[in-house]
Structure 1
Amino acid sequence: MKPTVHPAYRPVVFRDKAGGLAFLTRSTLTSSRTVEWEDGRSYPVVDVEVSSASHPFHTGKSRVLDTAGRVELFERRYGTTK
Structure 2
Amino acid sequence: MKDGIHPESNYVIFRDTSCGKTFRIRSTCKPTETIVWDDGETYPLVNLDISSASHPIYTGEQRKASNEGRVARFNKRFGKRGQKISQEN
What is the TM-score normalised by the length of structure 2? 0.65
What is the identity, as a one-letter code, of the residue corresponding to 1:15? R
Q: Deviations over 1:39-79 (max 9, x none)?
A: 101000111111111100122222467x99xx9xxxxxxxx
- Between the two proteins, what is the percent identity of the paired residues? 43
- Do residues 23 (structure 1) and 17 (structure 2) align? no
Q: Conserved in 2, the CA contact under 8 Å of 1:20 and 1:53?
A: no
User: How many residues were matched structurally?
Assistant: 68
Q: Conserved in 2, the CA contact under 8 Å of 1:15 and 1:46?
A: yes
Q: Distance in 1 between matches of 2:43 and 2:3?
A: 21
Gaps of 5+ in 1: 72-82
What is the TM-score normalised by the length of structure 1? 0.70
The structure whose residues are more often helix, as a share, is 2
Larger Rg computed on CA atoms: 2
Aligned-residue CA RMSD (Å): 2.0
Q: Distance in 2 between matches of 1:47 and 1:3?
A: 31
